[in-house]
Structure 1
Amino acid sequence: MKNSRLDLWLVPTIVFAIFCGVLFALIAFAFKDPGSNFQETGEKRPATPTELRKALEQHMR
């Protein structure tokens, strides 16, 4: 009986700790890459369709 009471809080705690660890690793990986979309580079982003088209053409070259 004592063993089942231990599992009642231990298993969800371990699962939650693993979930938090994986979530932290994914967030750290997303922000680690300098070319990531999640990083603010400070440069002006194209807003009009013409600017977007020009930026895409430059990127494709």
Structure 2
Amino acid sequence: MTHLKIEGMSCQHCVAAVNEALAEVNGVERVLKVDLDSGIAEIEGDADTQALLAAVREEGYEATVA
């Protein structure tokens, strides 16, 4: 499982955009959650961490490994 810290989300639309972007990355089995309050995303699967970070950044948010 991969945990990412997402910065810049301010609403549920942001959460949905990040969730969708992460779900489209090769190797993601399931996005367990993207939490607006904590800014933490939990992802199951064997996706490349750099690809996950890039997907979030392409949506306009900052991401780091939590």
Compute the TM-score of the two structures, normalised by the length of structure 1: 0.28
The structure whose residues are more often strand, as a share, is 2
Q: Which has the larger radius of gyration?
A: 1
Highest RCO, 1 vs 2 (Cα 8 Å, sep ≥ 6): 2
The structure whose residues are more often helix, as a share, is 1
